Amino acid sequence: MKKAVFAAALLLCGCAAKTPEKHTRELFAMDTYMSLTAYDGESGSESAEAALSEAVDFINALERELSVTLSESDISVLNSASGERITVGSDALSIISTSLEISSQTDGALDITVYPLVREWGFTTGEYRIPEDEVLQDLLQNVGYGRISVEGQTVALAEGTEIDLGALAKGYAGSRAVEILRVHGVTSAILDLGGNVCAVGKKPDGTAWRVAVADPDNSSEYLGILDVEDKFVVTSGKYERYFTGDDGKRYHHIIDPKTGKPSENGLNAVTVIGTDGTKCDALSTALLVMGEERAVQYWREYGDFDMLLVTDDRRLLVTDGISDGFRLTSDCQVSVIE
């Protein structure tokens, strides 16, 4: 059993000779260590400090609105509503709506109704087990994003269906935190929300932010470095949360909603790079479930993002939009997707 506490991507911050003042906050939220760094903007020395305080408050409030482990959260109330229509907060509504959009585009590879299966495998409790096929089949009857209905500010779940926004909530948190920073005039910042990296502007020295892509086979190494500016870089990987079963096999936390089992298709990790943090997070999870071929097809069809796929046999596939900004630092074989 291993619970990763490392971010999927490490931040490489260079030291510039003359830089605006740096402000940093660390927090533990959504079961993840988060680190927020912002530099003062032109409006003065208080801009970054005030922005970070507001961003931290927002993330903590969002956790209270969304967490399935807090009985009074909007999501817990919805999960125990026995089919009744519930008014939810604007954050929960926005995340659920984005999840439905991506579910429909990915033929259900992303499906937030998979929650009872995630729980059955023990990923929410830490009591890991390999469920019997019969149990999985039983739980799968209540899985399906079509069982979620959104009307105005309200959401209803079909009886027996429960949801968890863990696959995309950190991406949403990152997007909103970046908006808060911008309102305060911050033009240079880097936020690491546990595998969700948000790069605001450039480094204070005027060069691009450098984000290292973790090596799925060795948590202290990385495969390469991405140069990014005003982008979200979100990674999902089989190596992030997993346990080893009594049968000696490894079981990870991203469930294929068609089988009820951890996805096994030759993909080990997916990094999505784009301008919409929520979608990047949703897609990193969905593309891992879809596998190499379907992920490439999806990118060719929608293409408003870039991606980096790492296969079990250590091949690296990079879309052409980021191939120039990616430097390989490992022995992986790289190919460019066009």
- Binding partner of residue 215 among ligand FAD, Mg ion, none, CB under 5 to 8 Å per kind? none
Binding of Mg ion by 281 (CB under 5 A): yes
Binding of Mg ion by 285 (CB under 5 A): yes
How many Å is the Cα radius of gyration of the chain?
A: 20
Q: Which is nearer to ligand FAD, 210 or 241 (CB)?
A: 241
Q: Report the alpha-carbon distance of residue 307 to residue 298 in Å, rounded.
A: 11
Binding of Mg ion by 91 (CB under 5 A): no
Binding of Mg ion by 8 (CB under 5 A): no
Select from 77-85, 103-111, 232-240, 313-321 the region that touches Mg ion (CB under 5 A).
232-240
Q: Which residues bind ligand FAD (CB under 6 A)?
A: 30-32, 63, 66-67, 69, 110-112, 114, 118, 123-124, 164-167, 169-170, 195, 236, 240-241, 253-255, 257, 281, 284-285, 289
For the CB of residue 242, give the shortest distance to ligand FAD in the complex, in Å: 10
Amino acid symbol at 185: G
Asked if residues 220 and 33 have their Cβ atoms less than 8 Å apart, the reply is: no
Q: Report the alpha-carbon distance of residue 74 to residue 86 in Å, rounded.
A: 9
Q: Report the alpha-carbon distance of residue 199 to residue 32 in Å, rounded.
A: 18
Q: For the chain, how many helices (H) and strands (E)? A: 8, 21
Binding of Mg ion by 284 (CB under 5 A): yes
For the CB of residue 112, give the shortest distance to ligand FAD in the complex, in Å: 5
For the CB of residue 165, give the shortest distance to ligand FAD in the complex, in Å: 5
The dihedral region occupied by 299, where left means phi > 0, alpha psi between -120 and 50, and beta the remainder, is alpha
For the CB of residue 250, give the shortest distance to ligand FAD in the complex, in Å: 15
- Binding partner of residue 254 among Mg ion, ligand FAD, none, CB under 5 to 8 Å per kind? ligand FAD
Q: Report the alpha-carbon distance of residue 34 to residue 54 in Å, rounded.
A: 15
CA dist list (Å): 61 to 58, 192, 278: 5, 18, 17
Q: Which is nearer to ligand FAD, 93 or 328 (CB)?
A: 93
